[in-house]
Amino acid sequence: MNDTILLAHGGGGSLTRALVEELVVPGFSNPALNRLDDSALVEIDGTRLAMTTDSYVVSPLFFPGGDIGKLAVCGTINDLAVAGARPLYLTLSLVIEEGLPIETLRTVLRSAAETAREAGVQIVTGDTKVIERGKADKLFINTAGVGVPLKGVSVASANARCGARVIINGPIGDHGIAVISRREGIEFKTPVTSDVAPLWSLVEKVLAVCPDVQAMKDATRGGLAAVLNEIAAASKVSVLIRERDVPVREAVRGACDLFGYDPLYVANEGKVVIFCPAERAAAVLAVMREHPLGRDAALIGEVIEGRAGQVLMDTSIGGRRIVDMPYGEQLPRIC
């Protein structure tokens, strides 16, 4: 391990994983934590709860399609949703740099409140800290959330089985490209808007037709490639995707060419990847496509016999290549 923290330690790739597994988890080790999934599952007086927390450091605070307030609420809702849990209550903690315009904070909080209201969750407690000018970058937000896991649903990164189908609810890379284009001041002919959205209403519909979803993750930092690798590793299976079936908007593909990014590794904030039994794939796709957040849902691959932890892709030009776990993040401070 390095002597100092690198930006890549925050990228959601293999370096983040190493930091968490080697430095963080050993001191706290317990069954709920050791799953290292999007939410922890705990039990209080016989009632099962899902808990999660996340910090948001996105730069800039406002980007096409969203802002740090909406992002903070959606991110925590989505980590509960992909655990198969109905999100209920959130906390919201602010770390503010001295000099931030009150109007900026007001706008961010209004956006967070509106997102929570629309998603049917309540922000029930929080905290406010202010740091001297120059010691933080405008505004950081931490949210935690609790939810109730649906009965009869048992999703985990470790549950994907051979033959499972891999489905995503729409095109990848929108969030990362929206943020980086605003950060760099680049305008595209077709503007790219972040996909940031609360996914519970979509996930609930999927679980209603397919309570036996095996694994489910929101593809955020590290993109689609990171979540496929996490599930392949945790489940000790091989995953094969087909490049031509992975939805990518033309504008995102163009921006990726311009910046030198691979869309598989670009962040999303409203995309869920679902591993379901083959016989349920048609039903899952059908309910997704009826939902505004799943109109472009696609079946992108399956779990195959092969080396444990490996992700492969059949390319559009007829080859087959390995899709590696990202090391760090090609775009820092994306969420």
Nearer to Mg ion, 288 or 335 (CB): 335
38 contributes a contact to Mg ion by CB under 5 A: yes
70 to 99, contacts with Mg ion by CB under 5 A?
79
Nearer to Mg ion, 219 or 240 (CB): 219
- Tokens describing residue 125: 């407690």
Nearer to Mg ion, 79 or 302 (CB): 79
Residues facing 96 on adjacent strands? 130, 139
Q: How far is CA 232 from CA 38, 148, 239, 294, 320, in A?
A: 15, 26, 6, 24, 17
Minimum distance from residue 203 beta carbon to Mg ion (Å): 12
The footprint of Mg ion on this chain (CB under 5 A) covers a number of residues equal to 3
Of 6-14, 37-45, 174-182, 233-241: span binding Mg ion (CB under 5 A) = 37-45
54 contributes a contact to Mg ion by CB under 5 A: no
Residue appearing with tokens 């963080």: 24
218 contributes a contact to Mg ion by CB under 5 A: yes
CA–CA distance, 251 with 192 (Å, rounded to integer)? 7
67 contributes a contact to Mg ion by CB under 5 A: no
DSSP sequence for 102-146: HHHHHHHHHHHHHHHHHHT-EEEEEEEEEE-TTSS-SEEEEEEEE
Q: Is the Cβ–Cβ distance between 112 and 246 less than 8 Å?
A: no
Minimum distance from residue 235 beta carbon to Mg ion (Å): 16
Count other C-beta atoms under 10 Å from residue 322's C-beta. 9
Minimum distance from residue 329 beta carbon to Mg ion (Å): 14
Nearer to Mg ion, 36 or 96 (CB): 36
For Mg ion, the binding residues (CB under 5 A) are 38, 79, 218
